[in-house]
Structure 1
């Protein structure tokens, strides 16, 4: 019986390693594009989906549902504690849940994000990554779509004035 369990566990481990190795993509394989006030990365060319990585800060930010023909399904980087690493040059890298790999980038707004007071996320966005909006100290209103399934709590650090508007079916 122990041999059978060992064989099953070993097979599962090997399958997991093979699966992760074949689906993971290097940074250079993801198309990063700047369009207007947004920088985004294409997650799936066939399905025309993307994640917004950077946004030029303004007082009221309304993220579009579609940018350059790509549906926005994610804001920032979504990852877990096992999906990050440091390379030989001690640069911080991490991968999102779709195995898109990005370097040194978690905040969606740059350091001059004090002007942002309101953010509206479009319908169709399913994930908002860790710390995506964490450096927006003057954020007062965040409108979330009913399509949202994952949002990291770190988005709300140091935002005592924030009111969050969520559709009842959202979370």
Structure 2
């Protein structure tokens, strides 16, 4: 007995183990940023922290975790003989995350052109500023909500409502 699209959609919407792992990772990274700021407030030489430089290191890990979730989600929801890259352009935030991940892992070398459309500068903390584009308050948890919404869009595309 085959499952209906409605049943497949319900299952895909409510069962996403990759997201729960992503939430755990991002919660830890958010705590790391908070701890960094709290440590700065507790020391005698307050004001010496280079926020962009020190936070960018943590945000790099977040971008790589987001990239893994995006690729895993798109691949797992693809039907046979489909290319998962078709889903990357559904939201500009997904494209930005993937471009930042490519920058971090040095996959492509044309960053100036890619970052120009986001008003990012390779010499001015592109990861930190990219996170600010994704969420003005740099709240990584809010960015995960965008990723969850994006995945739900894919689920609705892949499993349309059955005609009654």
Structure 2-normalised TM-score? 0.24
Larger relative contact order (C-alpha < 8 A, sep ≥ 6)? 2
Normalized per residue, the structure richer in strand is: 1
Q: Normalising to structure 1: TM-score of the pair?
A: 0.24
